[in-house]
Amino acid sequence: MIKKIFTNSAGILLSRILGFIRDLLTASILGANIYSDIFFVAFKLPNLFRRIFGEGAFVQSFLPSFSASRHKALFSAAIFWRFFWLILGLSLLVTLFSEFFTHLIALGFDKRLVELAAPYVALNFYYLDLIFCVTFLAALLQYKEHFATTAFSTALLNLSLITALVLFSHSTKPQIVWAMSVAVLVGGALQLALHLWMAKRFGITCWLIKGLAALPKKKALIQRDLERFYRNFFPAIWGNSTAQISAFLDTWLASFLAAGSISYLYYANRVFQLPLALFAIATATALFPSVSKALAKKDEAKALAYFSKSFTLLFWLLAASTLGGVILSKEILWLLFERGSFTRADTIAASEVLAMYMVGLLPYGLSKLLSLWLYATHRQKEAARIATYSLLTNIVGSLVLLFFYQAAGLALASSLAGWVLLYKNTQLFGKERFWRLCRQALLPRYILAIIALTILLILIKKVLDGYL
């Protein structure tokens, strides 16, 4: 299990390092202004769906149904066929009504900005078509206990964007935004090509094609499997989407604030997403197939043993990351982004947002782990219900805190929603089970280590403050 987690973490780390290089170049070349805001708005909608599909929701609803199906080739072919045409139709709809969808994403944009951003929104949205195919193949590879391809392939998107930024660094800002939008599609196509190659090696493409060929005549055989999948899929999507919808809401509300606010939220959230993906998502991705199979065999003790090994490691990694992010928020953003068009004022404004986001790292990370139990036991509707409580907390908190703390208030509201999500998850997972895991994690040596880390981080901050 630890090997699987670190395989995922290594791939995610590579991707995030390249992602930070990409963001460094973006900050230096575009800065934090209306052009960077336009690109982030254009990429927001497909990226929202990418996170919903790619970081658990689709896999966590598809794998249990796929595992239980007696006609796996037919079932997977039916799901792929229906979803692909649905998403392609949605992409065409966004193309036809790009200004409407742009206004929907950034309600605070005036007519001129909406017209300027609309073509980029339409172009970027086709990334979703590519990434759905990637996610579908990734789910089948996960069933085969293969994680490396998916973990490492996300680096291709960042490499594509980095290439576009380097090649067009001396172009006008509209040309740079257009080049980055095209690079998004190129990156998605490269990811799909890699997954198709690996799926062929595992024999997946062969029986998937056979399933598609047999589907018209034999779809009655999988009707019950499809009904079970759809019954769980939509609650699973909603239950896994709280953090992504919260980030989307942040962008929407930030469009009413001063220019650059959307960019501050983006850069801060990028830092926040690093430990969340590196530790929580990597752990959840590696753990889910094993937990799902154990619970399917009614072996709860084995499933809890998997949880126990992963929980302690994840808890302390997230705790250490939270401390580092809160204490060194300004220093982190200074190191990563303050150059070129990204000024000291941008660093200070974005650091306040980062500190507020990091308050929610621990609850969102642990919720990723606890929610696995619900999905593996087909309790998607209950997971969706607690996600609704969390989202409502975020909406109310955002509307209130926005007036007091501007962009930082939006980030704080998102973190408060994360704590509500964790509380509700512990209730459904079982408070006794949860506290037993906590007691196993709270060993004296770990507590002393975190105290020492806190002191060290404060000393580092004092030293770095002399240079800032």
pLDDT for the residue numbered 193: 94
Is the confidence at residue 257, as pLDDT, over 60? yes
pLDDT at residue 381 is higher than 60: yes
Residue 222 has pLDDT above 90, yes or no: no
Q: How many angstroms separate the CA atoms of 37 and 106, rounded?
A: 10
Most confident among 35-44, 94-103, 334-343 (mean pLDDT): 94-103
Q: Kindly indicate the confidence band of residue 1, based on its pLDDT and cuts at 50, 70 and 90.
A: low
pTM of the model: 0.71
The stretch 96-106 carries a mean pLDDT of 81
Q: What is the DSSP string of 228-244?
A: HHHHHHHHHHHHH-HHH
pLDDT at 275 > cutoff 80:
yes
Nearest residue to 336 (alpha-carbon basis) of 99, 125, 22: 22
Residue 282, number of CB atoms within 10 A of its CB? 25
Q: What pLDDT sits at residue 226?
A: 79
**pLDDT band, residue 56 (cuts 50/70/90):** low
Among the listed residues 72, 183, 86, 97, the one whose alpha carbon sits nearest the alpha carbon of residue 133:
86
Mean per-residue pLDDT for 206-219?
Answer: 81
Distance from CA of residue 358 to its chain's centroid?
15
Q: What is the DSSP string of 336-391?
A: HH-STT--HHHHHHHHHHHHHHHTTHHHHHHHHHHHHHHHHTT-HHHHHHHHHHHH
- 83 falls in which pLDDT band (50, 70, 90)? confident
Tokens in use for 124? 């970027």
pLDDT at 282 over 80: no
Task: Give the span between the Cα atoms of 215 and 133, in whole angstroms.
Answer: 18
* 283-330 per-position pLDDT tens digit: 777 777 777 767 767 777 777 777 777 888 888 889 999 999 898 888
Residue 467 confidence (pLDDT) = 64
> Looking at per-residue confidence, does 63 or 426 come out higher?
426
Half-sphere exposure of 44 toward its Cβ, with a 13 Å CA cutoff?
30
Give the tokens for residue 201: 């090696």
Q: What pLDDT is recorded for position 197?
A: 93
Burial (0-12, 13-18, 19+ Cβ within 10 Å), 53: buried
pLDDT at 360: 92
164/450: higher pLDDT: 164
Task: Give the count of alpha carbons within 13 A of 181, CB side only.
Answer: 26
242 pLDDT band, cuts 50/70/90, is low
What's the pLDDT at 295?
72
- 295: enclosing H helix or E strand: helix 282-296
pLDDT band at 86 (very low <50, low <70, confident <90, very high): confident
Q: Of 138, 136, 127, which Cα lies nearest the Cα of 79?
A: 136
Instruction: Using pLDDT thresholds of 50, 70 and 90, give the confidence band for residue 255.
Output: confident
- Please name the amino acid found at residue 88: L
What is the predicted pLDDT for the residue at 397? 92
How far, CA to CA in Å, does 199 sit from each of 55, 62, 390? 19, 17, 37
**Phi and psi at residue 57, to the nearest 5°:** -60, -50
SS3 content of the chain, % helix, strand, coil (to 5): 90, 0, 10
Angstrom distance (rounded) from CA 412 to CA 269: 12
